[in-house]
Amino acid sequence: MDNMMTVAASLISHETRRIETAGQNLANVATPGYKRQIAFDDVLAAGRTGTVPVSAMLVPPPTGIATDFSAGKLVHTGNPLDLSISGSGFFEVMTASGPAYTRLGAFHRDADGRLVTAQNWALQAAGGGDVVLRSGNWQIASDGTLIDDGTPSAVIRVATFTDPTQLERRADGLFHATDAQAVDAEQPHIAQGFIESSNVALGNDMMQMMEAMRRVESGQKLVHAYDDMLGAVLQRLGDM
């Protein structure tokens, strides 16, 4: 009977984590640049072939959280300060703790002319340094070149990673390259006046949440069954 409680506790804990993950995604379905979170064992299951052992279905492995870095749709805003990357790669911004990376290109111009995030982290140029607008007559070419008053003055850095899964998710849509090495993207394409939407698949995450809730209910039924059996055993012992 102890095995039954182990299975039930593992199932409830595992599926509760999946519910929380799906809930986080659903809460950010309208957040520009948001990258959905997925249970890491779901990633493994997607590539699993053959028969899954019964023991693996009863006692699922611990749930880690991975990030789905697939691109969201590009939405036209008409705001020249809104930038988006078509294809792979990240904007690099300089934070108080060093470089960070994001797909959210909703920038504004600060008092010094720098392109900055909502948290005032400055967009970085290829080769280093902040991207600065020095005039009111500027545009950004599709390759990321800033043309300021008719003169190319900087190129926006688009960074890529061999293994983006090594990026560490932080707040405000930022990722830190703790164990990953950033390299310049080859032939990047930046769209000015567009913003990337969240890549959350509403129907998919709702379905995962409902499936996880049903599994939690199954775990709770196991707990009740264990409790009933234990009560029956104690009653018989008391009647002896």
Ordered by start, the domain boundaries in the chain are: 2-69+200-239, 77-196
d(CA 116, CA 106): 8
Report the percentage of the chain scoring pLDDT > 90.
52
Q: Tell me which residue has tokens 């280093």.
A: 128
Q: Tokens for 75, please give them.
A: 């939405």
174: left (phi over 0), alpha (psi -120 to 50) or beta: beta
Span 99-151, pLDDT tens digits: 999 999 999 999 999 999 999 999 999 999 999 999 999 999 999 999 999 99
User: How confident is the model over 37-65, as a mean pLDDT?
Assistant: 52
So what's the pLDDT on residue 237?
A: 64
Count the residues in the chain: 240
Q: How far apart are the first and last CA of the chain?
A: 21
* Residue that wins the pLDDT comparison between 193 and 50: 193
Listed as own residue / partner, the contacts of 131-137 with beta carbons closer than 8 Å and 24 or more positions apart are 131/156, 133/109
This prediction has a pTM of 0.74
